[in-house]
Amino acid sequence: MQFFFVQDHRQKHRYFSSEPLSQIQIQSSRWKKIWELAKDKLSLLPKRILRQEQALGQALKVEEETIEIVYSGRLEEKRIRRKFYFFLQRQRSKHILLLIGEALFLPISGLAAILPGPNVFFGVLAILMITHWQALRGINRILKKECKFTPSFLLEEWEKALSAKRKDSFAQILDEISDQYNITNLQKVLWK
């Protein structure tokens, strides 16, 4: 599994992994219908956000003391370390606030149980809370580990095309990156 820290089309840094999007699993058949409806609603989130959340959560699976993060190499290592550290701190604060807000809405969504049919509101909120909780735990794990930043020529070419606003070359560069690093749906993460 590889992790990436690169700018998207709005020149905001995104953190994602080479792993494809995966669904959260549930064991109980009683909740299966609600869970499936809620997962469908969650998949309506933009892929770049959902992919970042899952990449943050996947840091929990890393057993090594060092996490390798591929980046463009346009910035010196000291600056990219600082930028990544502040990125993680912003994400950590954001996830804490989101979890607090979701916890406040949880009792209200439980009241929707009196409505006929499955309580999709509660299911969606539960999946969001699980996703944000895993991402927050992953952020805390990344902050405790050593990060090794590896420059990539293709990611540098992508960021140069962004700076020059060469939209005609975006698709080709993203296809090359996808092929080299075996990443699916990269255009949805970085461009569209």
Identify the pLDDT of residue 20: 74
Domain residue limits at 38: 3-190
Q: Domain total for the chain?
A: 1
Identify the pLDDT of residue 161: 92
- Confidence class for position 19, pLDDT limits 50, 70, 90: confident
148 neighbors 66 (Cβ within 8 angstroms): yes
End-to-end Cα, the chain, rounded Å: 24
Q: What is the DSSP letter of 114?
A: G
Identify the pLDDT of residue 111: 79
Amino acid code (one letter) for 14: R
Quick one: which of 78, 75, 28 has its CA closest to 36?
28
CB atoms closer than 10 angstroms to residue 127: 19
Beta-carbon-side half-sphere exposure of residue 48 (alpha carbons within 13 Å): 17
pLDDT digits (tens, 9 = 90+) for 149-173: 999 999 999 999 999 999 899 999 9
- Confidence class for position 65, pLDDT limits 50, 70, 90: very high
Greatest distance between any 2 Cα atoms in the chain: 58
Identify the pLDDT of residue 188: 82
Asked whether residue 31 carries a pLDDT value surpassing 70, the answer given is no
- Confidence class for position 126, pLDDT limits 50, 70, 90: confident
Identify the pLDDT of residue 72: 93
146-151 vs 13-17, strand pairing mode = unpaired
Q: Mean of the per-residue pLDDT values for the chain?
A: 85
Amino acid code (one letter) for 116: P
Instruction: For residues 143 and 51, give the distance between their C-alpha atoms in angstroms, rounded to a whole number.
Output: 19
Q: What's the average model confidence in pLDDT over 61-84?
A: 93
